[in-house]
């Protein structure tokens, strides 16, 4: 299924996986300790470097099964943070944001830490 839809009395509402990924990406990047999204694979990373494209849906996979949404987030965290706590916060925030803003039921949010980066928050302050 390419879209998650619901039928209302006035018509049908379709939410594309790209829209879900955009909402999830924004929510994840707002979490303390997340410094960026990672590419899902080396090939994806090379392709994005060649295109020069850095968008909010990079590193996010959305699967829709009936009325349930599953999100995989490939993130880069800041060195010195508790990775388990950062991942837990990302899971909670992404689930809450998708459910409250889009009205979709989330079956799972999986956080895959692809890397650790140093000095990102410290350099900005």
- pLDDT tens per residue across span 71-114: 999 999 999 999 999 999 999 999 999 999 999 999 999 999 99
Q: Is residue 3 part of a domain?
A: no
pLDDT tens-digit series, residues 33-72: 999 888 765 555 444 444 444 567 889 999 999 889 999 9
Q: Is residue 61 part of a domain?
A: yes
Cross-strand partners of 112: 74
Q: Is residue 6 part of a domain?
A: no
Cross-strand partners of 106: 69
Which tokens hold the place of 83?
């990775």
Which tokens hold the place of 84?
């388990």
Q: Is residue 103 part of a domain?
A: yes
Q: Is residue 1 part of a domain?
A: no
Q: Is residue 62 part of a domain?
A: yes
The CATH code of the domain that includes 116 is 3.30.70.1350
**Domain of 39, in residue numbers:** 14-120
Q: Is residue 96 part of a domain?
A: yes
Q: Domain total for the chain?
A: 1
Burial 78-107 (b: 16+ CB within 10 A, else e): beebeeeebbebbbebbbebbeeebebebe
The helix (run of H) or strand (run of E) holding residue 41 is none
For residues 8, 14, 17, 23, the Cα torsion angle rounded to the nearest 10 degrees is -70
Contact 71, 110 (CB under 8 A): yes
Residues in the chain: 125
């Amino acid at each position: 299924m390419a879209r998650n839809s619901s039928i209302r009395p006035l018509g049908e509402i379709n939410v594309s996986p790209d829209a879900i990924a955009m909402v999830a990406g924004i929510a994840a990047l707002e979490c303390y300790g997340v410094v960026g999204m990672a590419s899902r694979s080396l090939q994806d990373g090379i392709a994005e470097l060649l295109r020069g494209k850095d968008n909010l849906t990079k590193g996010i996979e959305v699967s829709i099964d009936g009325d349930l949404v599953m999100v995989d987030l490939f993130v880069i965290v800041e060195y010195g943070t508790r990775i388990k706590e950062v991942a837990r916060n990302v899971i909670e925030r992404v689930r809450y944001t998708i459910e409250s803003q889009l009205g979709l039921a989330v079956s799972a949010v999986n956080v895959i830490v692809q890397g650790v980066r140093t000095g990102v928050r410290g350099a900005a302050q």
